[in-house]
Chains A and B, each alone.
Chain A
Amino acid sequence: MAKEFLISLLHYFVDITTAVLIAAAVFLTASGQQIESVILWQILLAGFITALPTAVLLCFDPKSVRISMALWVTHFMLIFAITVIMLKMFGWCRITPLSVLLTFLAVVFIYFFTCFVHYLVDRKHTALMNQQLKKRYIQKEKLLKAEQQSEHKSS
């Protein structure tokens, strides 16, 4: 279980960091700001801090859709709050209604980007798993046929 958690944490860290880099690149190009190299470390830290609750969220296995939705909303709000705190802590920009709105939009983008990348990866994995399932069924059918044939011969 710990191994699964670490793999999940690593995957989310990579995906979130990539999405944050895209968002930062778009923002910096649009605003024409110059940045210091320290921001790269800050982005890595931001990626890790936001990947942590995401990996923890996936450890929960709620049965009802309502609890599942509540968990996802709580998770989103937590990620948004963490991002706003980091915004202030690292001094990336001043906290104004506009910067909070832009941060909200950036978090929505990062959120969907990460979910979409994971969905694509899962789609590839499920395609492979479906192939294996199909192989199993074909093999089983062959064995059953062979069994029936040999039974027929012996009778």
Chain B
Amino acid sequence: MKIIIEPPKNAEEDVVIVRCASPDPQLISMLLSFQTAKTDLTGYIDDRIVRLNYQDVCYFEANENRVFAYCNSEVYEIKYKLYELEEMYTPLDFVRCSKSMIVNMEKIDFLSPLFSGKLEANLKNGEKIIISRQYVHNLKSKLGMQEGE
């Protein structure tokens, strides 16, 4: 499949045109999810309220009934449940990697195996997070790898 990105003509709204023989249901559902997805978040740090862009978040982590967004160097509290964030951001390159974490795929530098049977994701900011065995298939399907490949 060819992907073409071109700028809209003068003051035109952004448009996504899918030109294909038969529309792929997965692609259509992805586009619909993208259209309805919330792309900005409200983060709380000390007494400040900050508007966050989801692309700046490396991963979300739930800890003692609170959810935090880890950016390159700052950590913000988010007033969403982890499962809500998963529903909101899974169509946008985020993937559940353990019971308490959702990682931004764009922030993964490389993966390495551990002797304990888990995987370790080395993030671009130098942090390392654990990917539980039960969630490896999520990551594989995001990467377009078939089960058992």
Residues of A within 8 A of B (CB): 1, 4, 8, 58-59, 61, 63, 68, 72, 115, 118-119, 122-123, 125-126, 128-130, 132-133, 136, 139, 143, 146-147, 150-151, 154
Contacts and interface: CB of A to CB of B under 8 A. Distances in A.
Nearest to B6: A150
A116 B46 CA distance: 46
Nearest to A154: B7
A61 B98 CA distance: 7
Contact of B5 (A123, A130, A146): A146
B5 A133 contact: no
A4 B137 contact: yes
Interface of B: 3-7, 98-100, 105, 108, 110-117, 119, 132-134, 136-137, 139-140, 143-145, 149
B113 A132 contact: no
Given A115-B116, A128-B149, 5 more contacts: A122-B119, A126-B119, A129-B143, A130-B110, A151-B7
Nearest to A112: B115
A132 B5 contact: no
B135 to A, nearest CB: 9
A49 B146 CA distance: 30
A130 B111 contact: yes
Given A143-B3, A146-B5, A132 B145 contact: yes
A132 B143 contact: yes
- The 8 A-B pairs with the shortest beta carbon distances in the complex, nearest first, are A122-B113, A132-B143, A61-B99, A126-B111, A147-B5, A61-B132, A123-B113, A150-B6
Contacts of B119: 122, 126
Nearest to A116: B115
A133 B144 CA distance: 10
A130 to B, nearest CB: 5
A129 to B, nearest CB: 5
A133 to B, nearest CB: 6
B86 to A, nearest CB: 15
B112 A126 contact: yes
A37 B79 CA distance: 63
Given A128-B145, A133-B108, A115 B115 contact: yes
A139 B3 CA distance: 10
A68 B130 CA distance: 12
A143 B144 CA distance: 18
A54 to B, nearest CB: 9
A133 B7 contact: no
Most chain B C-beta atoms within 10 Å of own C-beta, residue among A115, A122, A128: A122
B5 A72 contact: no
B37 to A, nearest CB: 18
Nearest to B109: A133
A61 B130 CA distance: 10
Contacts of A123: 113
